[in-house]
Structure 1
């Protein structure tokens, strides 16, 4: 496993990481989570991602209990969570100072941890001044509840405003953004955020490298396996968005490239994401150990992505931003 600095910070995260979205609390209990987390550690993963919204907080409880029972040394792992959707009350969501502080404390209690390494603003909050959020995130850091803060699915304009406020107030700006990034979704990472990498040293921890499983090829006949994400009641909406005929044709077109390299399509897709120099870590998801073991082999595929192979991939997906 390779370890990369999270943006311009000194924090080192594994090039591939593991996220609890969908799986923890929805598909997996503590016993199963322990098995998967240990499998990740055995493959060198040190970065684990969560959010207060995942399974309404249960994902944090499961991850925290699993890590405690596994007996891991806290300094050996990087744990992140995200604040935005904390409950149904008017002050239990968003990025007000009140919810940032209360949400962070509640997350730490569920995780059974004194701090998280990184805390994200899970979405932009257009009803709260960005200055209030910047000050609140710095309050969280100053209290030792997190070491770094970042954003998820913010626009380049919003991240830039946060940085300008932080610099004006001599505060800490967001060091990392967590956007969706895969062969079918590229504009933010490869176009919109370009100035931010140089101007602010922004790092990326990207999610959905397999486009919710579409880039494995398992949905190409539009048959949804019963144990897949798209079969879950709360995530059926994703299948309507993702099982588009044109997208599936592109996925089909990638298969011969993966076959010539002698690797599964899923590994090719993950390796492609990780090969972007602006990506600090690619967050993977899995509900079974064999999936983690397969995903981790993507590290060995990165050197196979020569300029010629990358050009062939571009010809098939035709998704490069203008």
Structure 2
């Protein structure tokens, strides 16, 4: 999608959106981005897609995330169509997609073989109507493919100019470490970003398991599901509202819905109610915006992916930008008291802690 300047209809204006580097790379990404999982090309199609993307772009969001598996490629198609119809300049956009599950059945139609990485990339580009994506992610790690093959294939994609960087999604720290080891040994490029789930009720991987990876390789997170699929907005405190994600995608979220009825699920709802009170009384905001600001404040977060289904929902989410400066140490302490789930540090077996500066060397 290289459009002549005469066809550009919308000029990009950051509107004060903060930007961060994507991990160790030089690529700058908006603190809040937009993703099409379970929405674009699925529950949201046609003109509503255009309205959401237009609203995002006009409010500083220029990064859009998708995957080949999102409604079997339909999400990529919707994004490609909308980018073209809106007349957006390609260089103003940061487009990311992911490979693993494929769009059809077949022994080589998915996974991370060199064959699927190369052919899957070409098909994604065709659906998006672009010559390249900024970042291509391995949607999961393929334990049946040698890591050297995976690393070499993604580097081939980069060398061909089909992507500028590559990343991972929901990989373990051990798998990431192996990828970096292989890349360093071969003089190749390792992943610059992980796309992992991170929210107030899902913390261990992002805050503990990856800790050594952050220090050693400066990995950056492109966080998905920051609102726990809407649970942290408080909308499910009294049941499942009609038109909500748990209602529209009830089959997909069946196990999650069932879990909410358990004692553990009810305890989460109790905590959301306490967070709602804290958000309103001390920060003059909503629990959803508090949850978004909390994830965004993490120094290892490069961008937080929003999954709004309506333009007004997206605009409401962006109010979280004003909450971030309000998250003082005192407020964070109160949040932690409510959550009571902060990942435990690795044991020191009685040895004294390192001083404030020395601990950052290791």
Post-superposition offset of 1:281 = 0.2
- Tell me by how many angstroms 1:240 deviates: 2.5
What's the counterpart of residue 79 of structure 1? 95
- Tell me how many residue pairs correspond in the alignment: 321
Structure 1 runs, 4 residues or longer, greater than 6 Å off = none
RMSD over aligned Cα, in angstroms? 1.0
- What CA distance in whole angstroms lies between the structure 2 residues aligned with 1:234 and 1:72? 36
CA distance in 2, matches of 1:93, 1:12: 30
CA contact under 8 A between 1:214 and 1:242: conserved in structure 2?
no
Q: Which structure has the highest helix share of the two?
A: 1
The residue number in structure 1 matching 2:258 is 240
Q: Quick check: 1:180–1:207 contact (8 Å CA) kept in 2? A: yes
Please say which of residues 29-38 and 61-70 is displaced more in the overlay.
29-38
Equivalents in 1 of 2:63, 2:48: separation in Å? 18
Contact 2:18 2:30 in 1 (8 A): yes
Structure-2 separation of matches of 1:77 and 1:271? 23
Aligned equivalents of 1:125 and 1:37: distance in 2?
32
CA contact (8 A) 2:260 2:266 kept: no
Q: What secondary structure does 2:243 align onto?
A: coil
CA distances 1:76-120 after superposition (whole Å, capped 9, x unpaired): 110000000102211111111011111111111100110000000
Secondary structure class of the residue paired with 1:54:
coil
Give the counterpart of 2:112 among 95, 114, 120. 95
- Of the three residues 60, 64, 71, the one matched with 1:44 is 60
Aligned with 2:136: secondary structure?
Answer: strand
User: Within the alignment, does 1:54 sit opposite 2:70 as a pair?
Assistant: yes
- Per the alignment, residue 198 of structure 2 pairs with 181
Q: Which range moved further: 246-255 or 67-76?
A: 246-255
Q: Answer yes or no: is 1:283 the counterpart of 2:300.
A: no
Q: In structure 1, how many angstroms separate the alpha carbons of the residues matched to 2:219 and 2:251?
A: 32
Calculate the TM-score normalised by the size of structure 2. 0.87
* 2:14 equivalent in structure 1: none
Shift of 1:242: 4.9
1:268 maps to 2:284: no
On the 8 A contact 1:30/1:65 being kept in 2, the answer is no
Assess if the C-alpha contact under 8 Å between 1:229 and 1:235 holds in 2. no
Cα deviation, 1:8-54, whole Å, max 9, x if unaligned, reads: 11000000010000101111113111110111111111111000000
Compare CA radii of gyration and give the structure with the larger one. 2
Aligned counterparts of 2:260 and 2:74: Cα–Cα separation in 1: 27
* Residue of structure 1 equivalent to 2:10: none
Unaligned ranges ≥5, structure 2: 1-16, 345-362
Q: Under a length normalisation based on structure 1, what TM-score does the superposition of the two structures give?
A: 0.98
Q: Following the alignment from structure 1 to structure 2, what is the Cα–Cα distance between the partners of residues 45 and 278? A: 19
The answer on whether the counterparts of 2:275 and 2:335 sit within 8 Å (CA) in structure 1 is: yes
Gaps spanning 5+ residues in structure 1: where? none
In structure 1, the partner of 2:156 is 139
Whether the 8 Å CA contact 1:5–1:11 is kept in 2: the answer is: yes
